[in-house]
Amino acid sequence: MSQSAVSRIWRAFGLKPHIVETWKLSTDPQFVTKVRDVLGIYLRPPENALVLAAIGRRHRPEGQ
């Protein structure tokens, strides 16, 4: 994937990883295994595969 493609995606979703001041890693003991599984699908997708991603967000009550 080209740098310009990554930049377009970041802009489209309002992502600004270059200005993040803190970083937290998951405490999930299966974190490394899960990351490898997800990256493996993107790097070596099965033939005729469709890869979708969903980002969950916590519900915030109105006014907060």
Model pLDDT for residues 27-59, shown as the tens digit of each residue: 999 999 998 988 888 788 888 877 677 776 665
Number of residues in the chain:
64
Prediction pTM value: 0.42
Residue 11 has pLDDT above 60, yes or no: yes
Angle at 18 between CA 13 and CA 24, to 5 degrees: 90
Query: Do 28 and 34 contact (CB within 8 A), yes or no?
Result: yes
Average pLDDT over residues 2-16: 87
